[in-house]
Structure 1
Amino acid sequence: MPSTVQFNFDNTYQHLPASFYSEVKPAFIQNPQMVMFNEDLAGFLGLRLLDKNPEALAAIFAGNTLPEGAFPLAQAYAGHQFGNFTMLGDGRAILLGEQITPQGERFDIQLKGAGRTPYSRSGDGKAHLSAMLREYLVSEAMHHLGIPTSRSLAVVLTGEPVYREKVRPGAILTRVAQSHLRVGTFEYARNFHEGKYLKDLLQYSIARHFPELEDSDHQALAFFEAVMNKQLELIVHWMRVGFIHGVMNTDNMSIAGESIDYGPCAFMNVYNPLTVYSSIDEQGRYAYGNQPYIAHWNLGSLASALLPEIAPSTEEAVKIAQKSISHFPKAYENKWLEMMGHKLGIESIRPTDKALIDDLLHWMQKNEADYTNTFLYLRRRKFPEGSIYQQSDFKEWLHQWQERIKANPEVAQQLMDKNNPAFIPRNHLVEKALESASNQGDMREFQDLLTVLQNPYEDRAGLEAYQEAPAEVDKGYRTFCGT
């Protein structure tokens, strides 16, 4: 049966040694049904829709009809999960192929929840509708917030039950990413097959993501530092909007510097660096305020995996790697200060600005202020009557801030408008939309929320319900992994 969607696949992952993947076809779905299709993303990717019939599209994005040029495979990788090293791999995801866009960019097209693979272990290889819609919603929200991220092309109902904390309707997500190479892929290359394929993976990764490094005299170190810089930028973005990934294992850290694997993710309402929502993060390892430290830890795992390529002598390689990674904390602090300065309309940070920033954050934590809305009120220069923002200590801070930015108010406003969203995926609204979609088959709330989140920086009147979080709305709130 010919495909109703014309792809432009140019697959390269299978050029790596066969140990890095297993060829596997998606499980056949008896009666797939389209739930979501991202036409804007399809256009960007250069996909040609020869037939917009929902049944025909569902057959493609359920994996029943393989497009011409597809080379379905599941990737092998390892990873540190909550600090513990283990063998992993795509247990419920199948890479269809690598799409070349009209602009010449390369993106993986992957089906998530498409059935068991050789890496499924005791898993069922399936995904449920609520989790796949969450990834669709949050990944698209992150994209429109200007944060590097995988994206979502389609969601298909499978018509099969999935057993998690309760029985849920099954679904398959089509995910788009620059690649699915992870820190865990390098840990796998170093620790399995006697490490003999590490060089192959390094050269492939450089050719795919950092071709400017191909002529470097110290490729492994240059590659590590390029990945570190991308992670610095990414984590600063997460901190800017109050995003909490929830499961920052090394297998969820993309070499391309994209946010990926949206499981128990959420956005912080009340400012508190210790905020955790994930039901599986019992110790708070991946709390909001810990994310830069965990990124540093994960990069240490990448450096460790790369040691044989950094220098012939392990002792020498360790010294070189330690010197390189030791720059992370200061580099992060500088980027974080610059970002927070921009949120406050400060174009160039001065040494005294750190105290101004810290004082605001301490006040927010003490008074349980909403993170997003505090910066939105500052951006508007308007604060709710009878609120915590009328306190004398806040007004004193406000005066100091106003003095700081008064020299160039136009630039300050532009910076604040650009860096402070008016709309984020509020947890209670996300859950309400997912509940209606998953349990009642009603997609209206989901679609309405998605529409608002596609333009997050424009402060529009009449949408206050999408900006406010009810008091104590997150008390006891927990998100789940979906596996």
Structure 2
Amino acid sequence: MDWQEQLAQVPARHAASFTRLGDGFLTRLPPEPLPAPHWVAYSEPCAQRLGLPPDWRSEEALQVLSGNALWEGMDPWASVYSGHQFGVWAGQLGDGRALHLGELLHEGQRWEVQLKGAGRTPYSRRGDGRAVLRSSIREFLCSEAMAALGIPTTRALCITGSPQGVRRETVETAAVVTRVAPSFLRFGHLEHFAHHGQHEALRQLMAHVLSHHAPECLDAPVPPVAFLEKVARQTAELLAAWQCVGFCHGVMNTDNMSLLGLTLDYGPFGFLDGFDPGHVCNHSDHQGRYAYARQPQVAFWNLHALAQALMPLIGGDEEAVAELLGEALEPYRQVFQQAMLTRMRAKLGLARAEPEDQALVDDWLRLLALHRTDYTIAHRRLSRWPAMAEPDGGPLRDLFLDRERFDLWALRYRERLTREASVDAERLPRMQAVNPAVVLRNHLAETAIRQAQAGDFNEIERLLKVLQRPFDEPVQASDADFPPDWASHLEVSCSS
């Protein structure tokens, strides 16, 4: 069976398909055709992960993945969900510009295949259901970059484009991203049915989630509570991964939070250049709710919203139920703090744990924040800094205006390395395996976007290859260099 047949038939063969929940959870509808589609970019590692053959990019596939055709047996659908946006209940939302085509099964892993930008759905509200080339390139590149960094994420198989105009701030051209994940279920899916008092539907959805995404929770005394704790732990690990690589999501609404602990919905994201805990990457976030340093606490807030949605599933006194769910959330803080410290120890090249490590890490981050030191470059230079170096510190020290303050921290760091008899030649490869040389900075994405808007997609392909090996020194040194001056004027918003 080729991959087209598999994609069309898996939902009919496997009870795991979300469509089996029925029409109260989704709407079946075809995508809207996109005129004159063409290939823009594709990810071969993603294709291999899905088990696709080398010749998968056929003309027929182009039409299907642009929304112009369906393979036999396909039954596309969009799901309904709700959520809190910027801390306020937003009511019914849903897949406003996403359509699920079906599922692929490869090596025991089931993957949902979804088109983003395939036209209006009943959940588009006043939107056109389209995606533009600019935002599609950003999502495609960042999905695959995060995967290469080892951070849980949805994946992106390809982008197709079209000359069709789409109005945002200006008129741009349309594009469709094919993205895949074990599931696109969000906190907002459960919130929707809880908020609207549809408790039987909520129970059905919870049963689906437990059966297919958390079967180990079924044997727990109270499965929804066990599931909440699982989500809390996964989310804590995810947030620690984000923070340690300097990633800002930009729009951490509950409808953008994955029940599987994946990075979901790439919009106004950004990676830190200069280290600024208060950095807000989303130009639409006027209150700074989703600033870099606030992300861990926002995730915890979102988990409380999820806990609230699960309350109708648990019988008993309301106060006792709330206490039970609150206890399930307690591991979040500890898991996050431990995951952060473990990751930061690795970034500093520390091979064993000592009680003073937290203070050493905190003071390093304060030092970076004081000077808005480039986060990625500082860690990469630190990996090359000899343990027994003289106080001049070389290229690393040059990053800091307050040399005396750097020298004081560096002395503590050298002493710490000496206590564990750290060997430079052994520590360097360990540190460079966790401190990327290249991340998807806004100016790198912008350069690829501008060339693509002029009809040249080569920079997307080149940059993708670099991002798929983020821990290697790039051939083009500028990929790992400081951002140019013009990068400081770039702005991204919810339309990005």
Q: Could you say which TM-score interval applies, normalised by the shorter chain?
A: over 0.9
Q: Paired residue for 1:38?
A: 43
Q: Secondary structure of 1:65's partner?
A: coil
State the shift of 1:476 in Å.
4.2
Provide the rounded CA distance (Å) in 2 between the counterparts of 1:429 and 1:458. 17
Q: Is the contact made by 1:33 and 1:158 (CA closer than 8 Å) also made in structure 2? A: yes
Q: Paired residue for 2:361?
A: 357
Provide the rounded CA distance (Å) in 2 between the counterparts of 1:293 and 1:51. 43
Q: Paired residue for 1:404?
A: 416
Provide the rounded CA distance (Å) in 2 between the counterparts of 1:376 and 1:40. 26
Mark the CA change 1:300 to 1:273 in structure 2 (over 3 Å): closer, same or farther.
same
2:211 to 207, 220, 232: 207
Provide the rounded CA distance (Å) in 2 between the counterparts of 1:49 and 1:446. 20
Q: Is the contact made by 2:21 and 2:205 (CA closer than 8 Å) also made in structure 1? A: yes
Q: Amino acid of the residue matched to residue 143 of structure 2? A: S
Q: Amino acid of the residue matched to residue 26 of structure 1? A: P
Q: Deviations over 1:107-149 (max 9, x none)?
A: 1100000010011111101110110011000111001011111
Q: Give the TM-score normalised by structure 1.
A: 0.94
State the shift of 1:193 in Å.
5.0
Mark the CA change 1:52 to 1:77 in structure 2 (over 3 Å): closer, same or farther.
closer
Provide the rounded CA distance (Å) in 2 between the counterparts of 1:422 and 1:379. 11
Q: Is the contact made by 2:98 and 2:114 (CA closer than 8 Å) also made in structure 1? A: yes
Q: Secondary structure of 2:298's partner?
A: helix
Provide the rounded CA distance (Å) in 2 between the counterparts of 1:52 and 1:125. 25
1:482 aligns with 2:495: yes
2:478 to 461, 465, 472: 465
Q: Is the contact made by 1:139 and 1:149 (CA closer than 8 Å) also made in structure 2? A: yes
Provide the rounded CA distance (Å) in 2 between the counterparts of 1:37 and 1:453. 13
Provide the rounded CA distance (Å) in 1 between the counterparts of 2:20 and 2:302. 27
State the superposition RMSD in angstroms: 2.1
Q: Is the contact made by 2:273 and 2:483 (CA closer than 8 Å) also made in structure 1? A: no
Q: Amino acid of the residue matched to residue 19 of structure 1? A: G
1:7 aligns with 2:21: no
1:392 to 400, 404, 426: 404
Q: Amino acid of the residue matched to residue 402 of structure 1? A: R
Q: Paired residue for 1:432?
A: 447
Provide the rounded CA distance (Å) in 2 between the counterparts of 1:228 and 1:5. 36
Q: Paired residue for 2:432?
A: 417
Aligned identity (percent) is 37
Identify unmatched segments of 5+ residues in structure 1: none
State the shift of 1:33 in Å.
1.1
Q: Amino acid of the residue matched to residue 202 of structure 1? A: M
Provide the rounded CA distance (Å) in 2 between the counterparts of 1:340 and 1:58. 43
Q: Mean alpha-carbon deviation: is it higher for 345-354 or for 220-229?
A: 345-354
Provide the rounded CA distance (Å) in 2 between the counterparts of 1:386 and 1:379. 13
1:443 to 453, 457, 463: 457
Q: Secondary structure of 1:197's partner?
A: helix
Q: Deviations over 1:388-445 (max 9, x none)?
A: 348232122112112212324256445422221111112211111111112x111122
Identify unmatched segments of 5+ residues in structure 2: 12-16, 387-393
Provide the rounded CA distance (Å) in 2 between the counterparts of 1:392 and 1:326. 40
Q: Is the contact made by 1:4 and 1:56 (CA closer than 8 Å) also made in structure 2? A: no
2:138 to 108, 128, 134: 134
| Aligned pairs (5 A) from 1:246-257 | 246-257=250-261
| Aligned pairs (5 A) from 1:294-373 | 294-373=298-377
Q: Amino acid of the residue matched to residue 10 of structure 1? A: V
State the shift of 1:52 in Å.
4.2
Provide the rounded CA distance (Å) in 1 between the counterparts of 2:34 and 2:219. 47
Provide the rounded CA distance (Å) in 1 between the counterparts of 2:473 and 2:304. 40
Q: Amino acid of the residue matched to residue 455 of structure 2? A: G
Q: Paired residue for 2:52?
A: 47
Provide the rounded CA distance (Å) in 1 between the counterparts of 2:194 and 2:206. 11
Q: Secondary structure of 2:250's partner?
A: coil
Mark the CA change 1:36 to 1:446 in structure 2 (over 3 Å): closer, same or farther.
closer
Q: Secondary structure of 1:19's partner?
A: coil
Mark the CA change 1:213 to 1:232 in structure 2 (over 3 Å): closer, same or farther.
same
1:93 aligns with 2:98: yes
Q: Amino acid of the residue matched to residue 32 of structure 1? A: P
Q: Secondary structure of 1:281's partner?
A: coil
Q: Secondary structure of 1:449's partner?
A: helix
Q: Paired residue for 1:83?
A: 87
Q: Paired residue for 2:391?
A: none
Q: Secondary structure of 1:57's partner?
A: helix
Q: Deviations over 1:358-388 (max 9, x none)?
A: 1111111111210111110111117428823
Provide the rounded CA distance (Å) in 2 between the counterparts of 1:56 and 1:49. 15
Mark the CA change 1:52 to 1:447 in structure 2 (over 3 Å): closer, same or farther.
closer
Q: Deviations over 1:216-253 (max 9, x none)?
A: 22101110011111111111110111000000000000
Q: Mean alpha-carbon deviation: is it higher for 173-182 or for 212-221?
A: 212-221
| Aligned pairs (5 A) from 1:214-229 | 214-229=218-233
Q: Is the contact made by 1:337 and 1:349 (CA closer than 8 Å) also made in structure 2? A: no
Q: Is the contact made by 1:338 and 1:348 (CA closer than 8 Å) also made in structure 2? A: no
Q: Paired residue for 1:105?
A: 109
| Aligned pairs (5 A) from 1:182-201 | 182-192=186-196, 194-201=198-205
Q: Is the contact made by 1:389 and 1:395 (CA closer than 8 Å) also made in structure 2? A: no
Provide the rounded CA distance (Å) in 2 between the counterparts of 1:154 and 1:356. 43
1:22 to 22, 27, 47: 27
Q: Paired residue for 2:389?
A: none
Q: Mean alpha-carbon deviation: is it higher for 224-233 or for 210-219?
A: 210-219
Q: Secondary structure of 1:141's partner?
A: helix
Provide the rounded CA distance (Å) in 2 between the counterparts of 1:144 and 1:243. 14
Provide the rounded CA distance (Å) in 2 between the counterparts of 1:463 and 1:286. 33
State the shift of 1:310 in Å.
3.4
Q: Amino acid of the residue matched to residue 431 of structure 2? A: M
Mark the CA change 1:144 to 1:4 in structure 2 (over 3 Å): closer, same or farther.
closer
Q: Deviations over 1:299-348 (max 9, x none)?
A: 00111101122343222110111222233223322221221111111234
Mark the CA change 1:50 to 1:235 in structure 2 (over 3 Å): closer, same or farther.
same
Provide the rounded CA distance (Å) in 2 between the counterparts of 1:385 and 1:48. 46
Provide the rounded CA distance (Å) in 1 between the counterparts of 2:313 and 2:277. 37
